[in-house]
Chain A
Amino acid sequence: DIQLTQSPSFLSASVGDRVTITCRASQGISDYLAWYQQKPGKAPKLLIYTASTLHSGVPSTFSGSGSGTEFTLTISSLQPEDFATYYCQLLSTYPLTFGQGTKLEIK
C-alpha cells in the first residue's frame, strides 16, 4: 500500500501568515492527490484536487502544487476561519489513503 506522510503534524501560526503543509507519498502517484479541510464536529471539505486545481468556492488564498511523491498545500494569508485540520488523500490506487492530518492552530 502507498503511504502518505504529512508534515508538520501541528502548526501554530498567526492571522496573515503564509503557511505550507507537505504531503509525501511512499510511491509516485502522478497528480492524483486531493486536500481537505476539516473543522471539529464537521465533515471534511474539498479544497484542492488533482494536486493543484482549486475546488469551486474555495478562496484563492489556497493553492496546491506537486507531482509524483511530493505535494504542498499553501495558504498565502491565513484568515481566522482557516484554523482547522488539513488532510491529503491519494486517489491513484487502492486503498485511497489519507495522510495523518495537520492541525493548524492560532498562535
Chain B
Amino acid sequence: EVQLVESGGGLIQPGGSLRLSCAASGFIVSSNYMSWVRQASGKGLEWVSVIYSGGSTYYADSVKGRFTISRDSSKNMLYLQMNSLRAEDTAVYYCARWLQLGNAAFDIWGQGTMVTVSS
C-alpha cells in the first residue's frame, strides 16, 4: 500500500528545535519530489518546503534559514528539521508526494503530526 506516516510532533518551547519524520511505503522517497505542508488550527494550507529527486531544496520565506528538508534513502524516510521555532510555527505538519506528471500535484499525503510551540 502506498502511504506516508508522519511522526515527531509535540510541544516545544519558542526558540527550540524539533525534527519531523515521514515514513514512506509503497514507493521510493528518493525517486520522487517530496514536500511538507502545514496547517494552523482553523486556517488554510501553507506550503513549507520541497526536495527534488535530484536533491535540490526550496522553502517558503516564512521558514527559510530555520527549517531544513532532507531524506534518508536507506530508510525511505523524509525529514523536516525545524530550528528557532516560533509560536506562529504551531500547526499540523503534513508530508506529501509531488506527482511529477507535468508538475501535477500532491497526490499522496500523510495523516499529519501536530507541532505546538508554546512556553
Q: Count A-B pairs with CB separation below 8 Å.
A: 67
Q: How many residues of A contact B (CB 8 A)?
A: 26
Given contact pairs A98-B46, A100-B44, A55 touches B107 in the complex (Cβ within 8 A): yes
Question: Closest Cβ of chain B: how far from A51's Cβ, in Å?
Answer: 10
Contact call A96/B109, Cβ cutoff below 8 A: no
Given contact pairs A43-B94, A43-B112, A55-B107, A50 touches B101 in the complex (Cβ within 8 A): yes
Q: Which of B45, B47, B99, B104 has the most CB of A within 10 A?
A: B45
Closest to A55 in B: B107
Residue B106 is within 8 A (CB to CB) of chain A in the complex: yes
Interface string of B21-56 (1 = CB under 8 A from A): 000000000000001010000001111001000000
Q: Which among B37, B44, B45, B103 is the interface contact of A91 at CB below 8 angstroms?
A: B103
Could you say which residues of chain B place their CB within 8 Å of the CB of A38? Answer: 45
The residues of B with any CB-CB pair to A shorter than 8 Å are 35, 37, 44-47, 50, 58, 60-61, 94, 98-99, 101-107, 109-112
